[in-house]
C-alpha cells in the first residue's frame, strides 16, 4: 500500500447557494493553492501519482499548485451535492436553508443525520453510495505504487477519516466543518489499513501575513 495525501480545494465561491455557482475558486483560493505548491516544492515532497475529482475547483486547485500534467481525474473523488441535499430537506418542510454562512455550522450535522438515515427524498445519491465510492477510490489509489496526492473536497476527506477512524455521523460532520481550504490530510498504510498520520495541515499558511488565508468556507 502507498500513502495518500488528500488536499482540500482552495476557497471557492463562498456566496453560492447552488452546486454550479460554488464550483470555482475565489482569488484567495488560487493564492492558497499557489502557496501550497510552493511549500511542496521547497520541501521536496515526492508525489509521482496525482489524482483529482472532476469538479472545476479540483482542477483549478491542482493547476494553481503546479500540478498540470498527468493528473488522473476520478468522479468518485467529487464532493457530495450538499446544496441539492439541503434543498430537498427544505422542500420536504423539514429543515430551512440558512440565510447566513454561519448558520451552516448547525445545518450541516442535521443534513448528514437525515441523509444517513435515508430521510431525504430522492437525494442525488445515497449516503451508502457516497461512502462506497470514496472507499473504493481510496483503496485503488492506495494499491498503486508510490505516494499519491489527491485534490478533492472536504466531505470526501471527512468520509476518509470516518472510514479510517470509525467515526459516527456526528463525528464526521464535525470533522467536515473543521477542514480548511488547501489543507493536507495524509493516510498511511499501517497494519494493512489506511491510518491518518496528518490532518488538516496548512504549513503554507502559518506565516503571520497569511493567517487571513486560513479559511474554512
Dump pLDDT digits (tens) for 59-80: 999 999 999 889 999 999 999 9
Q: How far apart are CA 134 and CA 118, in angstroms?
A: 19
What's the pLDDT at 29?
97
What's the pLDDT at 93?
92
- Domain assignment of residue 34, yes or no: yes
Which alpha helices (DSSP H) does the chain contain, by range? 19-22, 27-42, 56-64, 82-91, 104-116, 127-142, 154-165, 169-178
Nine cell digits for residue 141: 489509489
CATH number of residue 164's parent domain: 3.40.50.1240
- Domain assignment of residue 10, yes or no: yes
- Domain assignment of residue 89, yes or no: no
- Domain assignment of residue 42, yes or no: yes
Nearest to 14 by CA among 26, 3, 32: 26
- Domain assignment of residue 121, yes or no: no
HSE-CB at 89 with a 13 A cutoff on CA atoms is 23
- For the stretch 5-25, pLDDT in tens is 999 999 998 776 778 888 999
Nine cell digits for residue 209: 501575513
Please give the tally of structural domains in the chain. Answer: 1
Nine cell digits for residue 168: 459516527
Q: How far apart are CA 36 and CA 202, in angstroms?
A: 8
What's the pLDDT at 149?
98
Q: Using CB atoms within 10 Å of the CB of residue 197, give its burial: 0 to 12 exposed, 13 to 18 middle, 19+ buried.
A: exposed
What's the pLDDT at 103?
86
- Domain assignment of residue 65, yes or no: yes
- Domain assignment of residue 113, yes or no: no
Secondary structure of residue 203 in the 3-state scheme: helix
Per residue of the chain (217 residues), give pLDDT as tens. Answer: 789 999 999 999 877 677 888 899 999 999 999 999 999 999 999 999 999 999 999 999 999 999 988 999 999 999 999 999 999 999 999 999 988 878 889 999 999 999 999 999 999 999 999 999 999 999 999 999 999 999 999 999 999 999 999 999 999 999 999 999 999 999 999 998 999 999 999 999 999 999 999 999 8
Domain that holds residue 16: 4-80+126-213
What's the pLDDT at 174?
96
Amino acid at each position: 500500500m502507498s500513502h495518500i495525501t488528500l488536499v482540500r480545494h482552495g476557497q471557492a465561491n463562498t456566496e453560492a447557494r447552488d452546486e454550479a455557482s460554488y464550483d470555482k475558486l475565489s482569488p484567495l483560493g488560487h493564492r492558497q493553492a499557489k502557496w501550497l505548491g510552493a511549500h511542496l516544492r521547497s520541501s521536496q515532497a515526492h508525489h509521482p501519482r496525482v489524482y483529482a475529482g472532476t469538479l472545476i475547483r479540483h482542477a483549478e486547485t491542482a493547476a494553481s499548485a503546479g500540478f498540470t500534467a498527468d493528473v488522473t481525474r476520478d468522479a468518485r473523488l467529487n464532493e457530495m451535492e450538499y446544496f441539492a441535499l439541503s434543498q430537498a430537506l427544505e422542500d420536504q418542510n423539514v429543515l430551512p436553508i440558512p440565510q447566513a454562512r454561519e448558520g451552516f455550522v448547525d445545518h450541516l450535522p442535521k443534513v448528514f443525520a437525515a441523509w444517513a438515515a435515508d430521510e431525504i427524498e430522492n437525494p442525488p445519491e445515497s449516503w451508502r453510495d457516497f461512502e462506497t465510492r470514496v472507499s473504493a477510490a481510496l483503496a485503488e489509489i492506495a494499491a498503486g505504487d508510490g505516494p499519491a496526492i489527491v485534490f478533492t473536497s472536504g466531505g470526501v476527506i471527512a468520509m476518509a477519516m470516518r472510514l479510517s477512524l470509525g467515526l459516527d455521523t456526528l463525528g464526521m460532520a464535525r470533522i467536515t466543518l473543521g477542514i480548511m481550504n488547501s489543507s493536507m490530510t495524509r493516510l498511511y498504510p499501517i497494519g494493512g489499513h489506511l491510518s491518518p498520520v496528518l490532518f488538516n495541515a496548512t504549513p503554507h499558511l502559518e506565516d503571520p501575513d497569511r493567517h487571513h488565508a486560513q479559511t474554512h468556507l
